[in-house]
Amino acid sequence: MEYTLRDIAADILEEMPPDPTDVEDMIIASLFSGQPDQTLQHASQLDRWLSAHLADMMAPLGLIDSGIEEE
């Protein structure tokens, strides 16, 4: 059976859940769990620029909708 990073992260987070009061924990957990929208939400709580830069990297990878019209 082939495991993906998301599968491994789910197993680890089931055993050791992130601390919901620690924003950095929540950013890392959502990032490894393949939840880019949650990652950006948590990142914006820590630093708006961090969230903006993460979104700049995620958009070209197709992880989020950039919302920019090509026209």
pLDDT at 16: 95
Distance linking the first and last C-alpha atoms of the chain: 45
DSSP secondary structure string for all residues of 4-65: -HHHHHHHHHHHS---TT-HHHHHHHHHHTT-HHHHHHHHHHH-HHHHHHHHHHHTTTTSS-
Average pLDDT for 31-56: 95
pLDDT band at 67 (very low <50, low <70, confident <90, very high): low
